[in-house]
Amino acid sequence: MSQVPATNSGGQVQTVQPKIMVIPYTKEGEDIRTVLEADINKRIAITKIKEAFDSRGFTTVDFTAKLKAAKDNNVFTSDNQTDIKSQIIQMSGADIYVQAEIDIVRSQYDASTISVTLILSAYEASTGNSLSNKVGKSPQFQTNDIGKLASKAVESIAEDFLNVMQAKFTDIVNNGKSIIINLSLNPDSKYTFASEFGPDGLPLSDNLELWMGENAYKNNYHIQGNGDLWMIFDDVRIPLKDQVTGNNYNPNKFALELFKFLKGLGLQSGKDIKGNTIYITIK
């Protein structure tokens, strides 16, 4: 059994700045494709957040441009908001997306006196794992200049927010991103995880642990537990980038390698991926 080349780090340690895309937060019933068109203040705030990241040397992806490209190319195949957001993030090539919730607060004593509150939440693009969260508030002013207030709100938290995000991202670069692998057997399967497979006649659970130790990034994995009909790895590290091609590496690629390993043992399986969790059902 040998390690899949795509997950073999060669022991390298490095610091890499992520590519970031700022996207608007959407409430239930709102469409991420139109939420900025309907609110100029949100457009201004998103731009100010992007500018704050740009000014600190981070590479950013323009959400509006990517959204327009997706519409022009008829990328969206459904109106499911989760699918739409995932498609925009995937085609952006961003390593991290930052969700920005913007609230314009008017003084209860004077409607012309306002402040801006921003809630920024950073997530690793392929797994959705949380990286950084901060709330920023501007002072109250008698003004209609939302851009100025949004700038003050983001400047109040940008340094801390980006420092935490960069530290978490550097850890991912060097130690891999965390996914969960949930394996189970079909109710009508003739096998259990104690069934023996392979040239050494090892139980299926041991075969899987050996494979995971060989193929997890830097051999970093943890088993939550297993029984006759189930096995859960609650922390398996996969690389941020394919170690051969340099392209983004995602849970689906790791699931495919696991699928091929099980097939090599003579087992048919199905896979489903939700966020950072891979579900494998062995038939």
Predicted local confidence at residue 122, as pLDDT: 98
Q: How far does CA 94 lie from the centroid of its chain?
A: 10
Q: Residue 75 belongs to a domain with what CATH number?
A: 3.40.50.10610
pTM of the model: 0.84
Answer for the pair 121, 46: CB distance below 8 angstroms, yes or no: no
Residue range(s) defining the domain that contains residue 82? 19-172
Residue owning tokens 């069934």: 195
Which domain-ending residue is among 112, 147, 172?
172
pLDDT at 81 over 90: no
78 and 168 fall within a common domain? yes
Structure tokens at 199: 């040239």
Looking at residue 30, what is its pLDDT?
Answer: 87
One domain, residues 49 and 122: yes
Is the same domain home to 182 and 154?
no
Q: Tokens 């801390």 correspond to what residue?
A: 160
Our count of domains for the chain comes to: 2
**pLDDT, mean of residues 239-252:** 88
Q: How far apart are CA 151 and CA 86, in angstroms?
A: 28
pLDDT in tens, 185-213: 999 999 999 999 999 999 999 999 999 99
Lowest mean pLDDT among 216-220, 228-232, 239-243, 262-266: 239-243
DSSP for residue 167: H
Residues 183 and 116 occupy one common structural domain? no
- Residue 56 in any domain: the answer is yes
The mean pLDDT value for 221-245 works out to 94
